[in-house]
Amino acid sequence: MTAQTLARPAVAVCCVPDAPVGRTLGLLVVLFMGLVVLGAGAAIVVLFGSRTVDAGSVAAEVERLTHEQVGVAASGVTCPVDVPVEVGATFRCSATVDGQEIGYTVRQYDGQGGVTIASAGFVALARVEATLVEQLRDGAGFAATADCGPASLRVVVGGPGTTIDCTVASVADPSDAARVVGTVTDDQGTVSFASGS
């Protein structure tokens, strides 16, 4: 089978307080590896004369964007407080997605509290399954089902090198099944598939 890009990076244009926000998202977003940014509202807080990034706003945006990307809520999002506004500075937030720990890198790109948020990556299993079914149907004329994990697991956390074990089976004869391994190959969400052993 060939490599299939499952998503293009999510990208948004960040805001400064009271500025309009624009957002461009891929039509097929299953891997949250790209840049996303803080939504509407103040991105900086002024405390005792020093300007700091609003950690609560960053955490809320991580939660919102994660749910938007893969349909699963991020929980327990934590970001450091009192981070000074400094162009180019980075800090880390962490969260749990579908029971798995994931880290987010937050980089400040301007002196107004504008930040980009990038995750270590996660893949929605339903999209991987749908892609396998489509590839078999379109490439080989083969009607199949795909199962890439227990129903309780909706997301696999991990970037390049992460493997996803799947089973594909014929719709006509479900006993005609094979193991397929998907591997995330890059930060753009490309997943290649190979027959499993």
Average pLDDT of the chain to the nearest whole number: 74
CA nearest to 62, candidates 32, 31, 23:
32
* 3 state SS for 37-97: ECCCCCCEEEECCEEEECHHHHHHHHHHHHHHHHCCCEEEEECCCCEECCCCCEEEEEEEE
For 49-105, what is each residue's pLDDT tens digit? 468 888 999 999 999 988 888 888 899 999 999 899 999 999 999 999 999 998 999
Grade residue 126 by pLDDT with cuts at 50, 70 and 90: confident
Distances (CA, A) of 168 to 109, 112, 184: 44, 50, 18
C-alpha span between 128 and 6 (Å, rounded)? 8
C-alpha span between 188 and 161 (Å, rounded)? 13
CA nearest to 12, candidates 88, 91, 127, 116:
116
CA nearest to 154, candidates 37, 84, 67, 87:
67
C-alpha span between 36 and 12 (Å, rounded)? 5
Q: What are the sequence ranges of the domains in the chain? A: 4-122, 124-195
Distances (CA, A) of 54 to 45, 61, 76: 6, 11, 17
First to last CA, the chain: 15
192 forms beta bridges with: 183
The residue ranking higher by pLDDT, 2 or 196, is 196
pLDDT higher than threshold 90 for residue 107: yes
For 82-98, what is each residue's pLDDT tens digit? 899 999 999 999 999 99
DSSP annotation of 171 reads S
Provide the pairing of β-strand 36-37 with 115-119.
antiparallel
User: pTM of the prediction?
Assistant: 0.65
Distances (CA, A) of 115 to 11, 39, 49, 62, 106: 12, 10, 21, 12, 6
